[in-house]
Structure 1
Amino acid sequence: MKKSVKQLVKEANSEIETLSVEEARALYGQENVTFVDIRDIRELEREGQVPGAVHAPRGMLEFWVDPESPYHRDLFANGNRFVFFCAAGWRSALATKSVQDMGLPNVCHIDGGFGAWRENGGPVEERKPRNG
């Protein structure tokens, strides 16, 4: 193996903006700031979610960001600041680096992810399980 996951995350973190939970909470609820949860849907159902956050599954994120993709979501072309998070900050670091490399401006992620958000008193709500 040429690079471990830890190495990839370390490299990503050296090139992206990482917010502390306190910095993220200061942005939460501001106009033109979109929180993006990249966790798996089962994690949201099991652990809850940040109220108002957009769910963009990690496996679809680049496709949703790319305006040339048939899966593009206009949300990612609205000029907002995007705050990504996952469970612990590893997937969101890689995702932030990836979309930054694609040209998405004004993107960052939360150090420690949803776990740190919840532990530090960030708002969390229950997500109802999917039907079917």
Structure 2
Amino acid sequence: MIRPVSELVAAAEKEIDTLSPEALRQALEESRVGGTPLILVDIRDVRELEREGRIPGAIHAPRGMLEFWVDPASPYHRADFAREGRYVLFCAGGLRSALATKSLKDMGFGPVAHLGGGFAAWRESGGEVISPFMQGN
């Protein structure tokens, strides 16, 4: 029998740090005034970014490449994941980012957290979003 993904997400959420949109805004503000650097990582598919927009300053790492981009021993490693700071992952609704955050934690990468409710919760809470038609900015 296949274990439902909802169980995997629930188990992951017990082991990872989850930030609300309000807590993320506060952490971003603290980062801007000299606090711990915050690196936002958007793991949505590129088509989701094109359709929905993005959070300003977030780097994009497709979910299927994330672990490879994080691993310094991987031929696909990206320098974005060698920066000092706290990484906050997000997806559309918080499910993929919960699993991805757990995976990075299992790899020993961190500090890492995820945005509960994902991009949708960020947008609904009034968080700043760059519209799809402004992607070049």
TM-score w.r.t. length of structure 2: 0.90
Percent of paired sites with the same residue:
58
Q: Does residue 26 of the first structure (1) align with residue 26 of the second (2)?
A: yes
**Residue 3 of structure 2 aligns to which amino acid in structure 1?**
K
- Aligned residue pair count: 130
Q: Which runs of 5+ in 2 are unaligned?
A: none
CA distance 1:124–1:70, change in 2 (3 Å):
same
Match of 2:55 in 1: 50
Q: Does residue 16 of the first structure (1) align with residue 12 of the second (2)?
A: no
Where does 1:1-132 land on structure 2 (aligned, <5 Å)?
Answer: 1-28=1-28, 30-31=31-32, 32-128=37-133
Q: Secondary structure at the match of 2:110?
A: coil
RMSD: 1.5
**Residue 118 of structure 1 aligns to which amino acid in structure 2?**
R
The runs of at least 4 aligned residues of structure 1 exceeding 3 Å deviation read: 127-130
Q: After superposing the two structures, state which structure 1 stretch, 101-110 or 23-32, moved more.
A: 23-32
**Residue 120 of structure 1 aligns to which amino acid in structure 2?**
S
Q: Which runs of 5+ in 1 are unaligned?
A: none
TM-score w.r.t. length of structure 1: 0.93
Looking at structure 2, the residues matched to 23 and 103 of structure 1 have their Cα atoms a distance apart, in angstroms, of 24
Q: After superposing the two structures, state which structure 1 stretch, 91-100 or 24-33, moved more.
A: 24-33
